[in-house]
Amino acid sequence: MNPRSLFEKIWQAHEVVPETAETPAILYVDLHLVHEVTTPQAFAALEARGLPVRRPGRTLGTLDHSTPTEVAQLAGRIPIRDQSAAAQVAALERNARAHGIELLGLGDPRRGIVHVIGPELGRTLPGMTIVCGDSHTSTHGAFGTLAFGIGTTEVGHVLATQCLLQRKPRSLEVFVEGRLPAGVGAKDLVLTIIGRLGVDGGTGHVIEYRGEAIRALSMDERMTVCNMSIEAGARAGMIAPDGVTFEYLRGRPGVPSAGAYERAVEQWRELPGDSGAAFDRDLKLDAREVEPMISYGTNPGMVAAVGGSIPERGDEAFMKALRYMGFEPGERLAGKRVDLVFIGSCTNSRLSDLQAAAAILKDRKLAKGVRMLVVPGSQQVKREAEREGLDAIFTAAGAEWRESGCSMCIGMNGDIAAPGQYVVSTSNRNFEGRQGAGTRTLLAGPATAAAAAVTGRVTDPRELAA
Amino acid sequence: MDTGKAAVIRSIRSRTVVLAADDVDTDQIIPARFLTTTRRDGFGDALFAGWRFDAKGLPRSGFALNDAAFRDAAVLVAGRNFGCGSSREHAAWALRDYGFRAIVCASFADIFRNNALKNGLVPVAVGAPTLAWLMANPGVEVTIDLETATLRLPGQEPTPFPIDSFARYRLLNGIDELGYLLSHSAAIDAFEGNRGE
């Protein structure tokens, strides 16, 4: 047999019907994650055809996208203010009940952002196919899964058949040699990769991240990298499972226990690509050259080192983006004004992200006029952070400590900035108006975001490191 | 009961409207603040909301879709990587609801292309010379012929465009994907059976 990559092994193991020139493959889905915003129309489509959910046990629901993060609304002390968001929450509660789907609803201690809870609860396991009506489903690829976002019509297909019609994508190897320098994180690495590939460099491909720098990352960091694969246009990003993966999973609720765990690990050890497995394309980079990164434009490929400058280009698309941002070509990024800082999202809201931000904020205050939201990725992350006293560090600095949810990453839950404001954000998209109409987003890692909160300016976090 | 028959599309003949931009992301096509709904219609009024309307909700002059001359155009012409970003199918719904039936551009983001094809919105990727001509001649009448998978421009030879053979077959015959999947239930049963489920 030809040497097979991680992707090819998972793909072949899930082919119900292989693809032909005339027809796409029918691919089996192991885990279907659902949330309140992209599912109501899919459930309605099933009901219109009188179809049941084929495998409710392979479906897990949560509330995160339009669900508010304000403590008073979530604790039920006041109703959800946005009536249409409340209707979406009610619709998923009703649909989950009607179809026997497990929903981690309001008040459930396991609720959180869909791509944070899957791994945290041990529902995301190596070798799986995972889909969700959300493009950042690529996050789960960090565990050696094939995980990608789908539209609402496809959500209906998976509910009804547990399968999807798919053409086999091409493969792209991103090989990162060396180790990241101290003070440089996974977000800086993935922003560098997107800057190199461009926002459509991965279109039609599944990325596999490989090399010493990737092996050295924690699971939280691997999730940050895989999460942003879609920002380079790739449907999915994946990393072969190894000892770091198995240790993360050991003892989590959805993971096989005792002897079954050892047998599962034996199977997972078969997943990494065979030596000599070929990729359609590749990109190589050296982790030692990566610096703290920040975006300056209106797509995630427009990035530069925090200590660097905006490139000197004059083409119309580039200038249009800079006009929106209020920047000029060639300007230095360090020292740019910051109005709001957001720590959160499926990219950077896990415990280690909050720890990185807290390390900068400890015994410091927010700069005058700066607002900061810290939104944990799940209720479990929230509890762990509070056990370590991170919430006290954030609130003492003057930041708001919220309930879990997508919050300002998507700005459809009440958490938005004002028109014209500059937001340094640990989220994944800096598109025009993403964080509220007219808002200007600068994407960065949690340390860079925290440094900006303290100085009120774009700042290299290494200048503030203890 | 909805039996799942999809609409048949053989050809689309319409004038174009040009949006001269690359990387048009789904947050521009339909901003997230319009997604708090459980319906799949009514998004047309919010299509390109941030570009079409100012802070007071008044149409911005200079944005192509606000030019009355192009209001009947059902073919949108744009640059590369159209539909990048979020997986929201609401983007395809909004374009259809507004009246678009096809997008002609240099390239598409993967998820958007899938979503478009599921909603009778035909994605037509063309080479640089064809796109440059379309950008320079807004409002021309074009024909997208799915039988031959070609784009016809006035006074020019038909230009072939790539389209997945199954997607083309579905559009030409009104085949519903869910119905097709359900017709393979026995294979899905067997797959689950082999895995001991």
Q: What is the 3-state secondary structure (H, E, C) of A415-453?
A: CCCCCCCEEEECCCCCCCCCCCCCCEEEEECHHHHHHHH
Task: Answer yes or no: is A206 within a domain.
Answer: yes
Single pTM value for the model: 0.97
Residues in chain A with CB shorter than 8 Å from the CB of B50 are: 432-433, 437
Are A156 and A304 members of one domain?
no
Indicate the average pLDDT of chain B: 95
Residues in chain A with CB shorter than 8 Å from the CB of B18 are: none
Mutate to test the interface with A, among B22, B48, B53, B87 (most CBs of A within 10 A): B87
Non-local (6+) Cβ contacts of A408 within 8 A are A342, A344, A345, A373, A375, A415, A416, A417, A423, A425, A427, A435
Distance CA A99, CA A83 (A): 24
Which of B97, B88, B79, B135 lies closest to A410 in space, CA to CA?
Answer: B88
Q: What is the 3-state secondary structure (H, E, C) of chain A?
A: CCCCCHHHHHHHHCEEECCCCCCCEEEECCEEEECCCCCHHHHHHHHHCCCCCCCHHHEEEECCCCCCCCHHHHCCCCCCCCHHHHHHHHHHHHHHHHHCCEEECCCCCCCECHHHHHHHCCCCCCCCEEEECCHHHHHHHHHCCEEEECCHHHHHHHHHHCEEEECCCEEEEEEEECCCCCCCCHHHHHHHHHHHHCCCCCCCEEEEEECHHHHCCCHHHHHHHHHHHHHHCCCEEECCCCHHHHHHHCCCCCCCCHHHHHHHHHHHCCCCCCCCCCCCEEEEEEHHHCCCEEECCCCCCCEEECCCECCCCCCHHHHHHHHHHCCCCCCECCCCECCEEEECCCCCCCHHHHHHHHHHHCCCCCCCCCEEEECCCEHHHHHHHHHCCHHHHHHHHCCEECCCCCHHHCCCCCCCCCCCCEEEECCCCCCCCCCCCCCEEEEECHHHHHHHHHHCECCCHHHCCC
Task: Answer yes or no: is A363 within a domain.
Answer: yes
**CATH number of A232's domain:** 3.40.1060.10
Q: Which of A137, A166, A195 is the last residue of a domain?
A: A166
Shortest Cα–Cα distance, B155 to chain A (Å): 30
Percent of chain A surpassing pLDDT 90: 95
pLDDT digits (tens, 9 = 90+) for A189-226: 999 999 999 999 999 999 999 999 999 999 999 999 99
User: How many domains is chain A built from?
Assistant: 3
Residues in chain B with CB shorter than 8 Å from the CB of A150 are: 87, 111, 114
Three-state SS at B173: helix
Tokens representing A243 are 């000892």
Nearest to B4 among A38, A49, A134 (CB): A49
Are A345 and A229 members of one domain?
no
Shortest Cα–Cα distance, A364 to chain B (Å): 34
Are A298 and A446 members of one domain?
yes
Q: Which has more pLDDT, A23 or A258?
A: A23
Distance CA B91, CA B48 (A): 9
Nearest to A432 among B28, B55, B180 (CB): B28
Are A28 and A149 members of one domain?
yes
pLDDT digits (tens, 9 = 90+) for A289-332: 999 999 999 999 999 999 999 999 989 999 999 999 999 999 99
Are A376 and A414 members of one domain?
yes
Task: Answer yes or no: is A252 within a domain.
Answer: no
Q: How far is CA A456 from CA A365, A372, A463, B180, in A?
A: 10, 11, 14, 56
Q: Which of A125, A150, A166 is the last residue of a domain?
A: A166
Are A26 and A130 members of one domain?
yes
Distance CA A27, CA A146 (A): 11
**Phi, psi dihedrals of residue B144, rounded to the nearest 5°:** -105, 115
Strand partners, A110: none
- Tell me whether residues B164 and A235 touch, CB distance under 8 A: no
Are A392 and A431 members of one domain?
yes
**A8 within 8 A of A277, measured Cβ to Cβ:** yes
Length of chain A: 466
Taking CA–CA distances from B57, the nearest residue in chain A reads A437
Three-state SS at B156: coil
Q: A21-37 burial, b if ≥16 CB within 10 A, otherwise e?
A: eebbbbbbbbbbbbbbb
- Tell me whether residues B178 and A410 touch, CB distance under 8 A: no
- Tell me whether residues A199 and B118 touch, CB distance under 8 A: no
Residues in chain B with CB shorter than 8 Å from the CB of A41 are: 38-40, 89
Mean pLDDT of all residues in A102-131: 97
Task: Answer yes or no: is A196 within a domain.
Answer: yes
The pLDDT value recorded for residue A97 is 98
The pLDDT value recorded for residue A320 is 96
- Tell me whether residues A24 and B85 touch, CB distance under 8 A: no
Taking CA–CA distances from A14, the nearest residue in chain B reads B191
Query: ipTM of the assembly?
Result: 0.96
Which runs of E-coded beta strand occur in chain B? 11-18, 75-77, 102-105, 122-125, 141-145, 150-152, 159-160
Shortest Cα–Cα distance, B150 to chain A (Å): 19
Task: Answer yes or no: is A410 within a domain.
Answer: yes
Task: Answer yes or no: is A248 within a domain.
Answer: no
Are A112 and A158 members of one domain?
yes
- Tell me whether residues A41 and B40 touch, CB distance under 8 A: yes
The pLDDT value recorded for residue B3 is 55
Residues in chain A with CB shorter than 8 Å from the CB of B27 are: 429, 431-434
Are A269 and A332 members of one domain?
no
Residues in chain B with CB shorter than 8 Å from the CB of A228 are: none
Distance CA B98, CA B120 (A): 13
Tokens representing A70 are 């304000």
pLDDT digits (tens, 9 = 90+) for A73-99: 777 666 788 899 999 999 999 999 999
pLDDT digits (tens, 9 = 90+) for A333-358: 999 999 999 999 999 999 999 999 99
Taking CA–CA distances from A230, the nearest residue in chain B reads B85
The pLDDT value recorded for residue A126 is 98
Non-local (6+) Cβ contacts of B98 within 8 A are B43, B44, B47, B65
Mean pLDDT of all residues in B136-143: 97
Mutate to test the interface with B, among A11, A12, A14, A16 (most CBs of B within 10 A): A16
Distance CA A465, CA A362 (A): 11
Mean pLDDT of all residues in A61-83: 84
For the beta carbon of residue A130, count every other beta carbon within 10 angstroms.
26
Are A315 and A201 members of one domain?
no
Is residue B166 over pLDDT 50?
A: yes
Task: Answer yes or no: is A1 within a domain.
Answer: no
Is residue B2 over pLDDT 60?
A: no
Q: Give the pLDDT band (50/70/90) at residue B196.
A: confident
- Tell me whether residues A199 and B169 touch, CB distance under 8 A: no
- Tell me whether residues A84 and B32 touch, CB distance under 8 A: no
Shortest Cα–Cα distance, B182 to chain A (Å): 7
Tokens representing A97 are 């009940």
**CATH number of A153's domain:** 3.30.499.10
Q: Give the strands of the sheet with A25-28, arranged side by side.
A: A15-17, A25-28, A163-166
Is residue A258 over pLDDT 90?
A: no
Are A106 and A190 members of one domain?
no
Indicate the average pLDDT of chain A: 96
**B102 within 8 A of B12, measured Cβ to Cβ:** yes
Q: Which of A230, A256, A288 is the last residue of a domain?
A: A288
Task: Answer yes or no: is A256 within a domain.
Answer: no
Shortest Cα–Cα distance, A265 to chain B (Å): 18
- Tell me whether residues B88 and A151 touch, CB distance under 8 A: yes
- Tell me whether residues B187 and A26 touch, CB distance under 8 A: yes
Shortest Cα–Cα distance, B54 to chain A (Å): 10
Distance CA A205, CA A425 (A): 27
Q: B29-60 burial, b if ≥16 CB within 10 A, otherwise e?
A: bbbbbbbbbbebeebeebbbbbbbbeeeeeee
- Domain range holding A41? 6-166
- Tell me whether residues A16 and B31 touch, CB distance under 8 A: no
Q: Give the pLDDT band (50/70/90) at residue B1.
A: very low
- Count Cα neighbours of B159 within 13 Å in the Cβ-side half-sphere: 21
The pLDDT value recorded for residue A161 is 98
The pLDDT value recorded for residue B53 is 96
- Tell me whether residues A200 and B23 touch, CB distance under 8 A: yes
Are A284 and A325 members of one domain?
no
- Tell me whether residues B164 and A167 touch, CB distance under 8 A: yes
The pLDDT value recorded for residue B197 is 79
Domains of chain B: 11-163 (3.20.19.10)
Mean pLDDT of all residues in A94-120: 97
Length of chain B: 197
Shortest Cα–Cα distance, A400 to chain B (Å): 22
What angle do helix axes A40-48 and A83-99 make, rounded to 10 degrees? 50
Tell me the count of A-B CB pairs closer than 8 A. Answer: 173
- Tell me whether residues A45 and B2 touch, CB distance under 8 A: yes
